[in-house]
């Protein structure tokens, strides 16, 4: 099985950078065989193309729902493909969640059979801020789980 882990978010905006920071942490920890990682940053279109040919894709990003900072959500990718149509489409408005629907249409048989999205509730999205302590702790826990128990990822969350 080929697994791709994509970290999404903006490194310049505090907790929004948790996805790319998790990818850097996975590089430090070391990746299990058959796993590759990609920094999706804020380029949703790139996420669609990165997924080509992967059996399984795991996307990690920050979210803002009002829950306690560091809360971890696990969402099946197919639940996020049904978004309202984009209005005034441009590359800045095209996010990774749009990439899921676009990727299914574009990649057809090369679209991953399993996509899981992990969202970590952020606390501070200020420009130049570091990860908040709760988000940093959850990111580290998720990185360790992904690096060591990827085959039993159902145990996470």
| pLDDT reported for residue 148 | 86
b/e sequence 32-66, b meaning 16+ C-beta within 10 Å: eeebebbbbbbbbbbbbebbeebebbbbbbbbeee
| pLDDT reported for residue 93 | 67
Indicate whether 150 pLDDT > 90: no
Residue 2 C-alpha from the chain's centroid:
16
- pLDDT tier at 118, thresholds 50, 70, 90: very high
Where are the chain's structural domains? 3-149
- The DSSP code sequence of 42-61 is T-HHHHHHHTTT-SEEEEEE
| pLDDT reported for residue 81 | 75
Token pair recorded at residue 36: 């590759």
With beta carbons less than 8 A apart as the criterion, state whether 51 and 70 touch.
no
Is the torsion defined by CA of 15, 16, 19, 24 positive or negative?
negative
- CATH of region 3-149, choose from 3.40.50.1450, 3.20.20.70, 3.40.47.10, 3.40.980.10: 3.40.50.1450
Indicate whether 119 pLDDT > 80: yes
Over residues 40-91, the pLDDT tens digits come to 888 877 888 889 999 999 999 999 999 999 999 999 988 877 766 666 666 6
């Amino acid at each position: 099985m080929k697994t791709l882990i994509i970290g999404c978010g903006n490194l310049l905006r505090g907790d929004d950078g948790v996805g790319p920071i998790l990818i850097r942490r996975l590089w430090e920890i070391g990746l299990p065989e058959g796993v590759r990682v990609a920094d999706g940053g804020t380029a949703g279109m790139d996420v669609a193309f990165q997924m080509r040919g992967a059996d399984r894709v795991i996307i990690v990003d920050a979210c803002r729902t009002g829950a306690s900072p560091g809360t971890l959500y696990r969402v099946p990718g197919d639940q996020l493909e049904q978004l309202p149509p984009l209005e005034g489409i441009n590359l800045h408005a095209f996010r990774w969640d749009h990439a899921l629907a676009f990727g299914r249409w574009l990649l057809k048989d090369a679209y991953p059979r399993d996509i899981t999205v992990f969202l970590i509730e952020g606390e501070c999205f200020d420009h130049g801020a570091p990860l908040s302590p709760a988000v940093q702790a959850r990111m580290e826990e998720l990185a360790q789980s992904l690096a060591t128990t990827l085959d039993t990822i159902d145990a996470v969350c």
